[in-house]
Amino acid sequence: MTSHRPCPPVVERSLALPGIERGRGVPYEAGVVDACLQLFRERRFTFL
């Protein structure tokens, strides 16, 4: 837990959603992207 991790740093949702949208089809499955965007944009889902 205290060593370096290869994971990318956390990004703001305002930057993450367009990135997910750009990846629709490749590398992310289109249906999953559509569901994700609907949850966050139309239904205003947030993490507590």
Reduced to 3 states, what is the DSSP secondary structure of residue 48?
coil
1 falls in which pLDDT band (50, 70, 90)?
low
Q: pLDDT tens digit string along 21-44? A: 999 999 999 999 999 999 999 999
5 falls in which pLDDT band (50, 70, 90)?
confident
Q: pLDDT tens digit string along 9-23? A: 888 888 999 999 999
Does residue 45 surpass a pLDDT of 70? yes
The pLDDT assigned to 13 comes to 85
Query: What are the helix (H) ranges across the chain?
Result: 13-22, 30-37
The pLDDT assigned to 29 comes to 97
